[in-house]
Amino acid sequence: MTSDSTVKSVQRAAAIIKLLAREATAGWRLSDIAQAAGLGKTTTHRLLSALADAGFVYQSPETRRYFLGYEIVRLGHQATRYDIAELARPSLLRLARETGDTIFISVREGLDALCLDRQVGDFPIKTLTLDIGDRRPLGVGAGSLALLAFLPDEEVSEVIASNVRRLETYPRFDPDELTDLTAQTRHQGYSFNDGRIVSAMCAVGVPVFDPRGRVIASISGAAIRERMGPDRVAWIVSLLKAEAERLRIRLTNLTAPSGSVSDAPTKG
């Protein structure tokens, strides 16, 4: 099979999985899947059979309809980054309510930090520097820097080197400065963006670790500069770290085998 045909097969299989997800309860008939995907029945059946072998698709012996298989659901639970926003929403709401500021959760996606959710506090001057779905190069911004700083050393170097051209858009995050900011963030246990993107706005961020000690997300809070004095920064950081730890424990409980208690070490 050529590389082009392999890519096409993967794209077709992904399209079928997305179709099945749309009717997770009712399921799909083979003919309906073929029509919706724009494929022949033979090709559709071949792809469904391969997906079924992998556990991603299940065919009911009674109705002959196709459904998403349990394996793909299990993988979704294991890949907690995909539902981390939902798990973290209570934390974000508490933080926004208690601080009055804007609270974000971000994850790494390749060389980027991706904002998954944002909750806005009640302070009259809003700090809306990121929308849900916005991306920045890893290291640019408080949440993004918290994600970068707690990666392994070699990975940090690779990310910065790969983003050199993109960092030109952010003058206060050139590679040398970003390397220094990474070291500083690790040392103090949180990131601090002192108006490096919008001069009147500052932000702090902390990493969220999974049960194995890997950084999988960051929680950050942003406010106008006047609200980010040293004492208040320390207070916000303490709140962010408490919620990050609460989220780590929730992830540990979700991924631990039934009946067991995880003793994964606390990071941060």
Whether 22 and 85 map to the same domain: the answer is no
**Residue 266: is its pLDDT beyond 60?**
no
Q: Write the pLDDT tens digit of every residue in 13-71.
A: 999 999 998 876 778 999 999 999 999 999 999 999 999 999 899 888 778 999 988 78
| Domain-embedded: residue 267 | no
User: How far are the Cα atoms of 102, 125, 193 from residue 128, in angstroms, in the given order?
Assistant: 7, 10, 14
Domain containing residue 64: CATH number: 1.10.10.10
CA distances from 5 to 19, 157, 206 (A): 21, 35, 43
Q: Are residues 133 and 237 in the same domain?
A: yes
Residue 221 inside a domain? The answer is: yes
- Decide: 120 and 81 in contact? Cβ < 8 Å: no
Give tens-digit pLDDT for 83-118: 788 899 999 999 999 999 999 999 998 889 999 999
State the amino acid at position 88 in one-letter form. Answer: A
Domain-embedded: residue 66:
yes
CB count in 10 Å sphere of residue 240: 27
**Residue 124 sits in which domain range?**
79-255
E strands, the chain, in order: 57-59, 66-68, 102-109, 112-120, 135-137, 191-194, 201-209, 215-224
Give pLDDT tens digits for 160-217. 999 999 999 998 999 999 999 999 999 999 999 999 999 999 999 999 998 889 999 9
Domain termination residue (choose one: 56, 77, 98) = 77
Q: Which pLDDT belongs to residue 76?
A: 65
Could you give the number of structural domains in the chain? 2
User: Which pLDDT score is estimated for 186?
Assistant: 97
Query: pTM, whole model, 2 decimals?
Result: 0.70
Residues 18 and 111 reside in one and the same domain: no
One domain for residues 69 and 175:
no
Please check whether residue 265 lies inside any domain of the structure: no
Return the biggest CA–CA distance within the chain: 67
- Considering the domain architecture, whether residues 9 and 90 belong to the same structural domain is answered as no
Q: Are 71 and 199 within one domain?
A: no
Measure the N-to-C terminal CA separation of the chain; round to a whole number of Å.
48
Q: Are residues 231 and 121 in the same domain?
A: yes
- Is residue 46 domain-shared with residue 156, that is, in the same domain? no
Question: Which of the 8 DSSP states describes residue 28?
Answer: B
The pLDDT > 70 percentage for the chain reads 90
Is residue 33 situated within a structural domain?
yes
Whether residue 90 is found in the same domain as residue 124 = yes
**What is the pLDDT at residue 140?**
97
CATH number of 214's domain: 3.30.450.40
239 with 99: CB under 8 angstroms?
Answer: yes
* Three-state DSSP string of 46-82: HHHHHHHHCCCEEECCCCCCEEECHHHHHHHHHCHHH
| 27 shares its domain with 143 | no
Q: What is the mean pLDDT of the chain?
A: 89
Residue at which a domain ends, from 77, 109, 137: 77
Q: Are residues 91 and 173 in the same domain?
A: yes
Residues pairing with 239 in the sheet: none
Mean pLDDT over residues 229-256, rounded? 92
